[in-house]
Amino acid sequence: MDEIVLKAMAKWPNVPSVFGWLSLDRRGNWLIKGESIGNEALNAFIGRNYLRDETGRWFFQNGPQRVFVTLAYTPFVYRVTSAEHEALALSTHTGLRLARIDSVLMDEEGAILIDADHGVGVIYDLDLDRLSPHLVDEHGVPVHEDAFDELLDDAQSAPPLWLQFGVTRLKVGHIHSTDIARQFDFVTDPTEHTTKANA
């Protein structure tokens, strides 16, 4: 968190929170009242001061004020940052590099979700082609290009897939989009009276 924010919180500790003003779309863009923020410095400032409270609500600490974030899907959007033929590297939409992945899931629409050291996030949809070379079979051999589509079309009969992340190989599981917030304990549409995740 920025030093200027910490000082403001100490100076004005009881500023009312804001709801319904800031949102995060599925491509990692911050939106104010539905309009994308074009100012790079402001985007970076929001990202540096983006946190989660004890009820599973995500917020931007704007000086002394908490601005709660409405999530289009997940708290993070993950980007593939490695070059072609390099080991897979991923970063959050706020610019934090992933050091650890705990699980990999695919929803019913083919979106890939990563539960990692920073939290759960969806892979940026335009990066799926860059992610696919890191999908392997149980022996670590890269799978053919149609394997991903087969898994989406018929998860029961398609060969299983793993994601190779450094020396770690994680099997790609399945989840329905409506179960994600509950499973990973976060609130997509926070309100002032939210008392627990997904209440």
In eight-state DSSP terms, residue 159 is P
d(Cα 46, Cα 60) in Å, to the nearest integer? Answer: 6
Residues belonging to the chain: 199
Domain with CATH 3.10.540.10 in the chain: 3-72
In eight-state DSSP terms, residue 189 is S
Q: Which fold has domain 3-72?
A: duf1285 like fold (3.10.540)
* Helical spans, DSSP H, in 91-132: 128-131
List the pLDDT tens digit at each of the 199 positions of the chain: 556 655 544 444 667 789 999 999 999 999 999 999 999 999 999 999 999 999 999 999 998 889 999 999 999 999 999 999 999 999 999 999 999 999 999 999 989 999 999 999 999 999 999 999 999 998 888 887 776 666 666 665 667 899 999 999 999 999 999 999 999 999 999 997 775 544 4
The helix (run of H) or strand (run of E) holding residue 59 is strand 58-62
Q: Of 102, 92, 120, 100, nearest to 179 (Cα)?
A: 120
